[in-house]
A and B are shown apart, each in its own frame.
Chain A
């Protein structure tokens, strides 16, 4: 059974609309993250949270807003969607935030297409 659940698996949106990507992890981890994988680009770090607190934000646009209602949830709200936002968004988690022994575990991703 998957331990990091992302919903939906596929999402189609129109330009200018707003969507929420859902992520829940059942690994008992204290840190959660969002990464983005655009076409022809490497996986790119977006946000990190530790105990529901934002630790780092590498996303220039305020249109991307993470939301953490519980320690094992980290949703991603994207507003005013643009075609350039089309990508696969991966949620990830780790036991703790930082440290050389830390290991990242990924969900299966949400593939977003903005028309």
Chain B
């Protein structure tokens, strides 16, 4: 079945550290891939989205590359700030379900210490 795997439940960094959050997916065909960010007390909001395999998406200093070879979509940021503290969700909209039904990973809680 369709799935998104985020192995890191929590990541704790200091300001200006490099961020790397793992995400791998499993589905048939080429889904659209997303990173959503959820701040405390709010709903998930779109951080970045990539529709085409082997393309890169970027937003607010965050980047992720759609790697169809390794079926991965890892999130990176060169220098995190305290305001980046939030839960990050990797997600996909599978082609085999018409792209309307998103599948989310378990989420990675990022804590950035000033």
A binds B: yes
Chain A: residues with CB nearer than 8 A to chain B? 4, 31, 35, 41-45, 48, 55-56, 58, 90, 92, 94, 97-109
Given the contacts A42-B104, A42-B105, A42-B107, A98 and B99 also touching, CB distance less than 8 Å: yes
Nearest Cβ on chain A to B36's Cβ, whole angstroms: 8
Q: Chain B nearest CB: distance from A51 CB in Å?
A: 13
The contact size tier of chain B is 20 to 34
Of the candidates A35, A94, A104, the one having the most CB atoms from chain B within 10 angstroms of its own CB is A104
Contact A48 B51 (CB under 8 A): no
Given contacts A43-B89, A100-B93, A102-B93, contact A4 B43 (CB under 8 A): yes
Query: Which of A92, A100, A104, A106 contacts B95, CB < 8 Å?
Result: A100
CB within 8 Å: A-B pair count: 67
Contact across chains for A106 and B107 when beta carbons are under 8 A apart: no
Shortest distance between the CB of A90 and any CB in chain B (Å): 5
B100 touches A100 (CB 8 A): no
Chain A minimum-CB-distance residue to B107: A42
10 chain-A/chain-B pairs, Cβ below 8 angstroms: A31-B100, A42-B4, A44-B104, A48-B100, A48-B101, A98-B99, A99-B99, A104-B34, A104-B102, A105-B46
